Amino acid sequence: MEEDLKRHVKKIGEKTGEPDWLTEIKLKAAHEYARLPEPSPRLGLHINRPTDRGNWAKLPTHQRDLRWTGTGEVLVQPLTDAAKTNEKEVRKLLYSEAAYTAGRYEALHSALVSRGLYVDVPDGVGGVKIIIDDVLSEGASYDHLLVHVGKNSSATIVNRRLSEGLGSAYHSEGAELFLEDGANLTYAPVQAYGAGVRHYETRCAVVGKNARLNLVTSDAGGSLAQVESRTRLSRQGGQVNIMGLLFGGLEQTIDVNVSVLHEAANTESNILLRNVLADKAKAIVRGLINVAENAPSSVGYQKEDTLLLSPTTEASVIPNLEINNNDVRCTHASSITHIDDEKLFYLKSRGIHPEEGRKLIIEGFIEPIMKALPEDTTRATLSEHILLQATHKPQ
C-alpha cells in the first residue's frame, strides 16, 4: 500500500510541476499514512463514520474560480507556484500546524494535495477581500489553503464550496492560517455539497499578539462532514471568535471538533455553534477550551445549541474546559431542543401557516451565524439551501 501511494504522490508532483522539496515532504506523509493506525469509526452510541477515503488514482476534475479585491501588494497564487517562488516562507508554514503526523488521514491529505492557494498579506495592508469558488464534481480531490496575514494588516476570505450533485465525490481540504501581531482576519469557509459528497476538513490557526481571528463557518451538505478546527492563541492579547453553523439532513453524519488553546496571557476565545438536524441525520459536536498554566487573565466562552427537526435524528454535544490556571474566566453551555408546539400555535393564531411558522423558527435559530457571514450572496445561497432541506417532506 505504501509503495502504491508513493507512486501516486510522484505522479501528482509530475502533473502539477511542484518542486522536489515539496514532493519529498509528501512522500514522508505517505509513509506516515501507512504507519499510523486506523482511527475508530465510532463517534457516539450509534454513530459510525465511513472509513473509505476516496480513490487515490482519480485526480480532481473540478475547477477553481478565484476573485479577489483589495489594496496593497497582496500575493495570491497557486500553492505549487508559491512553493517555487516563495520557498522559504512556504516551507516554514506548510503543514506546520496541520501536521501530517497528527493522524492517519491528516497524513493522507498531506500526501495527496494536488491543488491549493497561497495568500500572503504584507504588513500594514488593509481592506483585502478574497472570494474563492469551488464547484466539486465526481472523483476525489485534496486541496490546501495557506494564509499569512502580516503585522497590523486586515483581510476577509470567503471560501465557498458547492457540488453539482451528480454521483459521488470525496473532498479533503486543509486550511492553515497565520496571523502576525496586530493582524485581523475573517475567514468564512462555507460548504453546501450535495448528498453524494464526503467532506473532510482540517482548519488550523495561529494568532499573534493583539491579533484577532473571526472564523465564521458553515457545513451544510454531503453524506458525511468531518471537520477538525484548532486555534492557538500564541501571544498576549490574541483573540478568536468562532461562529459555526451545521446542518444535517437525510442520513447525513456530522463529526465536528472545535478546540482553542490559550498559550499566553490576556487571550480571549468565543465559540458559538448552532446545529440543525433533520430526517435521520446524526451529529457529534465537541468543543474544547484549554488554558495553559502560563496564560493568566484569559477569557473563554463556548455555547453549542442544537435544534432537532425530527424524532429520528441523533445528537451528542460535548463542551469541555481544561483549565491549568486559576486567574481565568471561562464558561460553557449546551442545549438540545425541538421546535416548540406552543410557538407554532402562537404563530398560527397570528395567521401564519404551521409550515411557514416552522420555517420562521429555523431562520431565527440560525440568524446569528447568518448575520456574521461577510458576503451577501453567500448568505442568501446558504439560507436557501438550508431552508429547502429543512422543510422538505420525506418521500
Are the C-beta atoms of residues 372 and 383 closer than 8 Å to each other?
no
The pTM for the full model equals: 0.92
Q: Is 175 left (phi over 0), alpha (psi -120 to 50) or beta?
A: beta
> Predicted confidence band at 43 (pLDDT cuts at 50, 70, 90)?
low
- 89-146 tens-digit pLDDT: 999 999 999 988 888 888 999 999 988 899 999 999 998 989 888 777 677 888 999 9
| 115 in any annotated domain | yes
User: What's the rounded mean pLDDT across residues 359-388?
Assistant: 85
C-alpha cell at 304: 453549542
Q: At what angle do helices 2-16 and 20-35 cross, to 10 degrees?
A: 160
pLDDT greater at residue 62 or residue 201: 201
Taking only the tens place, the pLDDT of each residue in 279-315 is 999 999 999 999 999 999 999 999 999 999 999 998 8
Report yes or no on 45 lying in a domain: yes
Most confident of 107-121, 157-171, 373-387: 107-121
Q: Evaluate whether residue 360 is within a structural domain.
A: no
> Distance (Å, rounded) from C-alpha 267 to C-alpha 294?
11
C-alpha cell at 369: 451565524
Beta pairing partners, 206? 178, 232
Total domain count for the chain? 1
The three-state secondary structure class of 123 is coil
Q: What is the pLDDT of residue 21?
A: 96
Chain-centroid distance, C-alpha 224:
13
Please give the Cα distance from 290 to 58 (Å, whole number): 40
- Establish if 367 belongs to a structural domain: no
81 and 117 in contact (C-beta within 8 Å)? no
Residue 77 · residue 85 · CB < 8 Å: yes
Q: What is the Cα–Cα distance from 258 to 287, expressed in whole angstroms?
A: 5
Could you tell me the residue range of the domain that residue 153 belongs to?
A: 2-340
C-beta of residue 132 within 8 angstroms of C-beta of residue 64? yes
Q: Is the pLDDT of residue 395 over 50?
A: no
pLDDT single digits (tens) 217-230: 998 888 888 899 99
Query: What does the pLDDT read at residue 69?
Result: 61
Q: Where are the beta strands (DSSP E) in 25-136?
A: 63-69, 75-78, 115-121, 128-136
Tell me if 97 is assigned to some domain: yes
The answer to whether residue 200 sits within a structural domain is yes
User: How far is residue 369's CA from residue 358's CA, in Å, rounded to a whole number?
Assistant: 18
Amino acid found at 366 = I
Nearest-Å Rg of the Cα atoms of the chain is: 21
> 252: which DSSP letter?
-
**pLDDT tens per residue across span 203-221:** 999 999 999 999 999 988 8
Q: Taking 70 as the threshold, does the pLDDT of residue 344 lie above it?
A: yes
- The C-alpha atoms of residue 170 and residue 108 are separated, in whole angstroms, by 13
Q: What is the mean pLDDT of residues 42-56?
A: 58
Is residue 393 a part of any domain in this protein? no
Identify whether 352 is part of a domain: no
